[in-house]
Chains A and B, each alone.
Chain A
Amino acid sequence: MDEARISRRGLSPRLWLAGGWLLLALLAAIFAPLIATQDPLAQDLMLERLPPFWLDGAEPGYWLGTDSLGRDLLSRLIFGGRIAFIVAFAAASAACLIGSALGLIAGYFGGWADRIISRVVDVWMAFPPVLFAILLVAVLGTGLSSVIIAIAVIDWTRFCRVIRAEAMSQARMDYVESARIAGYGRTGIMLREVLPNVLPSVVALLSLEMGIAVIVEAILSFVNLSISTDDPTWGGIIAEGRLSIHQAWWVLVFPLATLILTVLSFSQFGEGLKTRFDPVLR
């Protein structure tokens, strides 16, 4: 039994792979100026549409080739990662905080609090999320903080629904009743008894939401509604790559692959963490 427990406590391949990719991407983003071989904004029309390094005509120092303006693709991807991660962490944390708090209150207290919060969630979810985001950014104006606010404002409902359901099922457990009998206050029970038991779900959702935030940011960049067009973003690079797909496929394929890998890693990392930290599954 001890052996089985050790193996389950150890990192699963899923956590390893997902965590490894995220760490790599995060470090690259943080140390972008040191790692990037070129200035991501420097145009050089002599070097336009260079292929990636293993194809004929590649230039050393431009590992993944260049786009139609001669900018280095790898450097742009690395700098784009900065924005992706900032948005992922900030927007997902904000959505998590708002959504989990409201979900916990609705699920544990029930009654009026639950009815009001649940109706708001229902109304919220009737809005098509991407259009809602575009509308919000149009109102708030483009820029990093508007993108973050837009994503948080749209996606808090995801946390709210899941955490509400979890809190409700926990609130029915006998240990919550025992705490009532012992004389604990309601808020205290919510924070000390219920919250720790919904935390694994919060963590999993948080990670998943980071992936979703990366996608939404990419979509907003794709339709040119994210931050200023000067800064490289994954969505922006994809939009440019789409225009030159027949001449330079790599400009579309590499950022897409990066995006997919990152989003997938976020969701898998979250699931892996949940399994690892859930006291019952562990």
Chain B
Amino acid sequence: MEPCLEIRCLSAVLPNERRVLRSVSLAVQPGEVRALVGESGAGKTMIGKAVLGVLPKSVRIVEGEMLIEGEDLGRLDAKARRTLIGARTALIPQDPLTALNPSRRIGPQMTDRLVRILGWSGEKADKRIRQLLDEVQIREPERVLKCYPHELSGGMRQRVLIAAAFAAEPRLIVADEPTTALDVTVQKQILRLIAQLQRDHGTAILFVTHDLGVVAKISQKVSVLYAGKVVEEAQTADLFASPQHPYTRALIAATPRYTDPYASLKPVDETVLAGLADEIAAADRAWRPSHG
């Protein structure tokens, strides 16, 4: 089967030519949840942004291909690329506080995209939005649709954003740490909601997170990232059962556990980090010659 998203050997550099993505390859099959896990600055979010075409101006892609349902984004002109990304993908953002336009009511804000970008009739869009609000268990859709974003709680806003992401039936959703900015109690509900909608709609998700607990709950496959490089890739169950890379093992060991709440946190071991540095350096040496 053709993958929903395929990234081949993607490298990106900063203006100082330092690589922030190091030959990243991964594929997300239709209807599959692929977790991208790593520490802050590992480039998880960068991959999501690259796929969605919203990399910061300072980051430049220097090699590699990205294909959405077999269509090579690099071969399309800017306009066609925007149209393709707009029609087939969606984002569930990290911070629900800034992801909704504060000066527009929820209702028009949600339907606008369906009507303007996808050319639906207002009535159809409205019906669709109500259906989605129901699916994300918002009990008073009438009230919520008339609200401004600041009148809703963080959890409610994230529900709205999830509904908006699924509304246009995208094939791929990039979820960029969608539970990080929320209360711990709300996190679990939101996670369950995303999993539920993902199953119902059969949408593929690229799930960016630094939380291995979340990875275990939601994903089928996982890529572990360090310094913009995929250090290990496996089925989620296999990864937790028998982690291959020392860094993965260290990460799993570093996760705090409820069973032993007083155990001190274990940082990633020095030797593991030294090994990673060598690995990165070797990868860069191997990469340099072909790009001067």
Contacts and interface: CB of A to CB of B under 8 A. Distances in A.
A and B part of one assembly: yes
Interface of A: 110-111, 173-175, 177-178, 180-184, 193, 196-197, 199, 279-280
Q: Which of A111, A178, A197 has the most CB of B within 10 A?
A: A178
B148 A183 contact: no
B104 A196 contact: yes
Contacts of A279: 102-103, 148, 150
Interface in B81-126: 82-83, 85-87, 89-91, 93-95, 98-104, 113, 116-117
B117 A183 contact: yes
12 contacts: A110-B57, A174-B99, A175-B99, A177-B91, A178-B91, A196-B101, A196-B103, A196-B104, A199-B103, A279-B102, A279-B148, A280-B102
Contacts of A178: 91, 93, 99
Nearest to B87: A183
A174 B48 CA distance: 14
A198 to B, nearest CB: 9
Contacts of A173: 98-99
Interface of B is mostly: loop
Nearest to B100: A175
B98 A175 contact: yes
Q: Which 8 A-B pairs have the closest CB atoms?
A: A183-B86, A174-B99, A196-B103, A173-B98, A175-B101, A174-B98, A174-B93, A183-B117
A197 B103 contact: yes
Interface string B150-178: 10000000000000000000000000000
A193 B101 contact: yes
Nearest to B176: A174
Contacts of B83: 183
A181 B52 contact: yes
B263 interface: no
B53 interface: yes
Contacts of B117: 182-184
Interface of B: 52-54, 57, 82-83, 85-87, 89-91, 93-95, 98-104, 113, 116-117, 148, 150
A159 B176 CA distance: 36
Contacts of A184: 116-117
Contacts of B57: 110-111
Given A174-B95, A181-B91, A197 B102 contact: yes
Given A183-B82, A183-B86, A184-B117, A197 B91 contact: no
Contacts of A181: 52-54, 85-86, 89-91
Contacts of A193: 101
A157 B102 CA distance: 27
Nearest to B101: A175
B106 to A, nearest CB: 12
Contacts of A280: 102, 150
B2 to A, nearest CB: 22
A107 to B, nearest CB: 15
A130 to B, nearest CB: 37
B254 to A, nearest CB: 29
Given A174-B94, A279-B150, A280-B150, A180 B54 contact: yes
B156 to A, nearest CB: 15
Nearest to B105: A279
Nearest to A188: B116
Contacts of A111: 57
Contacts of A180: 53-54
A175 B110 CA distance: 12
Q: Which of B95, B102, B117 has the most CB of A within 10 A?
A: B102
A276 to B, nearest CB: 14
Nearest to A197: B103
B107 to A, nearest CB: 15
Contacts of B94: 174
Contacts of B98: 173-175
Contacts of B86: 181-183
Contacts of A110: 57
B45 to A, nearest CB: 11
A182 B167 CA distance: 12
A270 B54 CA distance: 37
Nearest to A277: B103
B56 to A, nearest CB: 10
A209 to B, nearest CB: 22
A141 to B, nearest CB: 43
Contacts of B85: 181, 183
Contacts of B53: 180-181
A177 B102 contact: no
A52 B82 CA distance: 72
